[in-house]
């Protein structure tokens, strides 16, 4: 199981001004947390609650279809190209980056066990799209178009470009190179997929984009590159079981949610840094940033009061960012709670050769890179404590599908609990929708004429 160590957020270690009396707080919030966990589990099957993500580890049917499709297309494609943005891309990106061999796309076919390379086109920079299209052999590329709303302009425009190119290259057969993941009713993509006859995976109702990593949104790209889906679902299920525990003393998601909430509201720590000491977990930080920001950054609380709340998430990676952000974290404003992610056992033990023995770097010889990254993480944590800066450490026994799934699921539950503590709607995103609507208006989508007029008059005054 994952471990959560919160000692360095406690007043005993970092002092009264910045630390919390955690045992006392856990006891103070015991009943609140019990109620929140019981309530989330009670509401999770009810339509309209947006809690279906809590059931994804158990969706046998989707898991079966995903595995079946992956085995059906095995050996047919050299590349998987995922078109999607935000929650439709970040989960797949985070998990594949963590679990595939590093530099996967640069390995030979043999080194990849005949499995395809994978690319996520999650932006609309014309140069980078063009650059990627220039290196992919589209005949050997399976395009997975992912959009929950079935209309997002970024993803749909990419799809339109790819559809045209595939058709030019493959004639009528192009349909075999497209697989769609979308909502069953909403949006245009489902209608198009039906008309065109694409293989389609459905994102279940009441699963928001940023909570969709364990639906076909994330599972399909994972399965297509050979990631063991059973290992992923076992991780989710075991973590889910652990997090059903209503006792805060036994529930790491509740502990970390409460610590973040109290650090924000009592100690002014309005920034939440996610800093894995692992390059493979780098995109977990990107995924967390979206999850935390879109879920908790809200204008109104559930009672309609204007609150404008939400801790700001920041991504970092250790040891790299020790040489960029840590100066600020140690000596700048004491307004952050830093989450370290540690890996107990890396796949590789990399020795540093015993050379240059009589020079200033001789002390490194005979040690391992593993010793070094662990020493860096320990010393950063201790230095931050010396400066009275709170930190949390989440430890993964190793990086595999089981533990990465546990980590992501734990962070999802933590976010849901934090949302309850803030008394906000964790699962909506009116701020994102507003900008999407303005884009539709600017690009001339029908039905958005009034917004276009408003927008043009606002832009004229800028
Ligand atoms: O979490 C969310 O809801 C958003 O970030 C969406 O994932 C993102 O806007 C993409 O939306 P869609 O999947 O509808 O294309």
Q: How close is the Cα of 24 to the center of ligand 1, in Å?
A: 39
Contacts of 22 (CB under 8 A, 6+ apart): 6, 9, 10, 259
Q: Is 122 a pocket residue for ligand 1 (Cβ < 6 Å)? A: no
Asked if 3-35+252-422 and 52-233 have one fold, the answer is yes
Q: How close is the Cα of 334 to the center of ligand 1, in Å?
A: 33
52-233: CATH, from 3.40.50.2300, 2.40.50.140, 3.40.50.10490, 3.40.50.720: 3.40.50.10490
**What is the chain's length?**
462
Write out the two tokens for 7. 């000692």
Q: Which long-range contacts (CB under 8 A, 24 or more apart) does 383-387 make?
A: 383/326, 383/330, 384/8, 384/329, 384/330, 384/338, 385/8, 385/13, 385/14, 387/330, 387/331, 387/334
* pLDDT, position 310: 93
Q: Is 87 a pocket residue for ligand 1 (Cβ < 6 Å)? A: yes
* pLDDT, position 410: 98
Write out the two tokens for 406. 């546990």
Residue among 82, 83, 84, 88 whose CB has most ligand 1 atoms within 8 A, to mutate: 88
Contacts of 326 (CB under 8 A, 6+ apart): 380, 383
Q: Whose Cα sits closest to atom 9 in ligand 1?
A: 86
Do residues 214 and 53 lie in contact, with contact meaning Cβ atoms separated by under 8 Å? yes
DSSP SS3 for 347: coil
Do residues 279 and 369 lie in contact, with contact meaning Cβ atoms separated by under 8 Å? no
* pLDDT, position 152: 94
3-35+252-422: CATH, from 3.40.50.10490, 1.20.1250.20, 3.30.1490.20, 3.20.20.10: 3.40.50.10490
Contacts of 280 (CB under 8 A, 6+ apart): 97, 98, 99, 102, 399
* pLDDT, position 372: 96
Q: Which residue has the tokens 């406690």?
A: 10
DSSP SS3 for 339: strand
Do residues 393 and 338 lie in contact, with contact meaning Cβ atoms separated by under 8 Å? no
Question: Ligand 1 atom closest to Cα of 211?
Answer: 1
Q: How close is the Cα of 292 to the center of ligand 1, in Å?
A: 14
Q: How close is the Cα of 431 to the center of ligand 1, in Å?
A: 12
* pLDDT, position 444: 80
Cα angle for residues 429, 432, 434 (degrees, 5° grid): 105
Question: Ligand 1 atom closest to Cα of 436?
Answer: 9
Catalytic residues: 294, 323, 436
Q: Per-10-residue mean pLDDT for the chain, 462 residues long?
A: 97 98 98 98 95 97 97 97 97 98 98 98 95 97 97 96 97 97 94 97 96 98 98 98 98 98 97 97 97 96 95 95 91 97 97 96 96 95 97 98 98 98 94 77 80 75 70
For the chain, the structural domain boundaries read 3-35+252-422, 52-233
* pLDDT, position 332: 95
């Amino acid at each position: 199981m994952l471990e959560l160590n919160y000692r360095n957020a406690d007043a005993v270690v970092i002092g009264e001004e910045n630390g919390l009396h955690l045992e006392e707080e856990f006891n103070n919030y015991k009943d609140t947390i019990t109620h929140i966990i019981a309530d989330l589990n009670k509401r999770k099957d009810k339509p309209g609650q947006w809690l279906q993500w809590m059931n994804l580890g158990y969706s046998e049917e989707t898991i079966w279809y995903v595995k079946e499709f992956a085995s059906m297309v095995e050996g047919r494609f050299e590349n998987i190209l995922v078109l999607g943005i935000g929650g439709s891309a970040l989960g797949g990106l985070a998990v594949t980056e963590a679990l595939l061999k590093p530099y996967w796309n640069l390995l030979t076919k043999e080194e990849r066990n005949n499995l395809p390379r994978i690319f996520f086109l999650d932006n609309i920079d014309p140069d980078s799209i063009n650059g990627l299209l220039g290196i992919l052999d589209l005949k050997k590329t399976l395009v997975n178009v992912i959009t929950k709303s079935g209309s997002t302009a970024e993803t749909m425009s990419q799809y339109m470009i790819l559809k045209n190119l595939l058709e030019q290259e493959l004639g009528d057969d192009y349909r075999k190179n497209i697989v769609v993941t979308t909502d069953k009713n909403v949006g245009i993509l489902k209608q198009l997929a039906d008309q065109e006859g694409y293989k389609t995976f459905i994102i279940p109702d009441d699963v928001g984009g940023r909570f969709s990593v364990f639906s076909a949104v994330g599972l399909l790209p994972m399965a297509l590159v050979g990631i063991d889906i059973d290992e992923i679902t076992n991780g989710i299920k075991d973590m889910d079981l652990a997090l059903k525990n209503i006792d805060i003393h036994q529930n790491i998601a509740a502990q970390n949610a409460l610590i973040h909430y109290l650090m924000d509201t009592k100690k002014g720590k309005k920034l939440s840094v996610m800093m894995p000491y692992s390059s493979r977990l780098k995109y977990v930080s990107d995924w967390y940033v979206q999850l935390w920001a879109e879920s908790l950054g809200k204008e109104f609380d559930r009672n309609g009061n204007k609150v404008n709340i939400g801790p700001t998430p920041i991504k970092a990676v250790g040891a790299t960012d020790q040489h960029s952000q840590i100066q600020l974290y140690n000596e700048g404003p004491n307004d952050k709670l830093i989450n370290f992610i540690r890996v107990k056992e890396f796949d590789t033990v990399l020795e540093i050769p015993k050379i240059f023995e009589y020079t200033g770097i001789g002390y490194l010889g005979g040690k391992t890179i593993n010793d070094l990254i662990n020493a860096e993480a320990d010393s950063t944590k201790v230095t931050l404590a010396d400066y009275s800066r709170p930190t949390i450490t989440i430890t993964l026994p190793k990086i595999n599908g089981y533990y990465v799934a546990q980590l992501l699921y734990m962070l999802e539950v933590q976010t849901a609990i934090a949302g309850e503590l803030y008394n906000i709607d964790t699962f909506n995103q009116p701020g994102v929708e507003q900008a999407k609507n303005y884009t539709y208006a600017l690009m001339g989508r029908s039905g958005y004429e009034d917004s276009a007029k408003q927008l043009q008059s606002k832009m004229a005054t800028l």
